[in-house]
């Protein structure tokens, strides 16, 4: 059966793409953010994943407000990127792992999760930038990808508790996949930030640090909050922390932290990065 090695969770703000495109990794503004990744890459070199299951939210490249699934799973042979503006580089296509995609879909529907299944799918910066941070400068991705999209754009959103349960179900599905492949779960978004309205620029460092701590010692801690409470605590776009909860749900009980980085601000966002290993 397949093996979950661990997880990586990270912010995905579009400005990261511009910084990569202009080679600003050592620039004083960007260095504290990019310095969070070499330890994660070193861990990946020893972990040797074959597949990454990526939780993220689409920002309008594949889904738009007219049709917005709560949960969607990619089942395509490959996933292409496209020009989103903002100077974000368009990256090479990502190879899919269709056998795992269909196993996840069948397992999740079997557990009463209602999904949208995508046999064609564009992937936006929320998937491409974390991949570019984890495997910089590659022409051929060393891992296959299964995208899992959670709506954090069009209300109503799924609750934190529901998203955690989705992550748990995906963890069970990966572990029951008849394959000897090694899987890392990736979750992208957050941490606290608000881009619009009266609270534009809002960041909540206390909450973010408590949340990161909770993922090790008390992983369901944030599921006690409603979506409204989480928006209040983390900002309208900070709600992307739902991806971190889904990711953590997939890991099971026994984990250890490999690395974490937290830096304020990157483009109005509290930028968090965390790698966790299953024991
Ligand atoms: Fe986002």
Query: What pLDDT, in 10s, does the model give residues 129-176?
Result: 999 999 999 889 999 999 999 999 999 999 999 999 999 999 999 999
Mean of all residue pLDDT scores within the chain: 97
What integer is the mean pLDDT of 187-199? 96
Ligand 1 centroid–CA 279 distance in Å is 30
Q: Which residues are catalytic?
A: 125, 193
Indicate if the pLDDT at residue 212 is higher than 90.
yes
Please name which of 110, 112, 104 lies closest in space to residue 53, comparing C-alpha atoms.
Answer: 104
pLDDT of residue 133: 97
pLDDT of residue 111: 98
pTM of the model: 0.98
Ligand 1 centroid–CA 128 distance in Å is 12
What integer is the mean pLDDT of 118-128? 98
Interatomic CA distance for residues 199 and 202, integer angstroms:
5
What integer is the mean pLDDT of 250-254? 96
The bridge status of strand 51-56 relative to strand 182-188 is parallel
pLDDT of residue 5: 98
Ligand 1 centroid–CA 12 distance in Å is 6
What integer is the mean pLDDT of 210-225? 98
Indicate if the pLDDT at residue 114 is higher than 90.
yes
The confidence band for 87, taking pLDDT boundaries of 50, 70 and 90, is confident
Interatomic CA distance for residues 87 and 89, integer angstroms:
6
The confidence band for 86, taking pLDDT boundaries of 50, 70 and 90, is confident
Ligand 1 centroid–CA 239 distance in Å is 9
Ligand 1 centroid–CA 153 distance in Å is 9
Question: What tokens does 41 get?
Answer: 């890459």
Q: Which tens digit of pLDDT belongs to each residue from 18-60?
A: 999 999 999 999 999 999 999 999 999 999 999 999 999 999 9
The confidence band for 249, taking pLDDT boundaries of 50, 70 and 90, is very high
The residue ranking higher by pLDDT, 95 or 88, is 95
Ligand 1 centroid–CA 126 distance in Å is 6
What integer is the mean pLDDT of 213-234? 98
Ligand 1 centroid–CA 48 distance in Å is 27
Identify whether the C-beta of residue 248 lies closer than 8 Å to the C-beta of residue 219.
yes
pLDDT of residue 139: 84
Ligand 1 centroid–CA 203 distance in Å is 15
Q: Which tens digit of pLDDT belongs to each residue from 52-72?
A: 999 999 999 999 999 999 999
Identify whether the C-beta of residue 187 lies closer than 8 Å to the C-beta of residue 247.
yes
Q: End-to-end CA distance of the chain, in Å?
A: 17
């Amino acid at each position: 059966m397949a093996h979950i090695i661990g997880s990586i969770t990270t912010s995905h703000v579009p400005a990261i793409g511009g910084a990569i495109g202009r080679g600003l990794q050592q620039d004083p503004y960007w260095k504290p953010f990019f310095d969070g990744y070499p330890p994660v890459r070193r861990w990946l070199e020893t972990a040797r994943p074959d597949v990454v299951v990526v939780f993220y939210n689409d920002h309008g490249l594949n889904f738009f407000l007219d049709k917005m699934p709560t949960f969607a799973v990619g089942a395509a042979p490959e996933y292409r990127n496209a020009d989103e503006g903002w100077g974000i580089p368009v990256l090479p296509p990502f190879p899919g792992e269709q056998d795992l995609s269909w196993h996840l879909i069948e397992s999740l529907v079997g557990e009463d999760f209602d999904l949208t299944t995508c046999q064609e799918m564009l992937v936006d910066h929320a998937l491409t930038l974390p991949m570019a941070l984890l495997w910089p400068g590659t022409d051929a991705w060393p891992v296959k990808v299964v995208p899992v999209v959670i709506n954090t754009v069009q209300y109503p959103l799924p609750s934190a508790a529901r998203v955690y349960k989705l992550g748990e179900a995906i963890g069970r599905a990966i572990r029951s996949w008849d394959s000897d492949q090694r899987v890392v779960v990736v979750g992208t978004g957050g941490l606290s930030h608000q881009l619009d309205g009266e609270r534009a620029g809002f960041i909540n460092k206390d909450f973010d640090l408590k949340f990161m701590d909770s993922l090790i010692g008390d992983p369901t801690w944030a599921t006690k909050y409603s979506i409204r409470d989480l928006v209040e605590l983390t900002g309208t776009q900070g709600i992307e922390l739902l991806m971190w909860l889904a990711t953590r749900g997939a890991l099971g009980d026994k984990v250890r932290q490999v690395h974490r980085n937290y830096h304020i601000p990157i483009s109005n966002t509290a930028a968090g990065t965390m790698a966790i290993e299953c024991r």
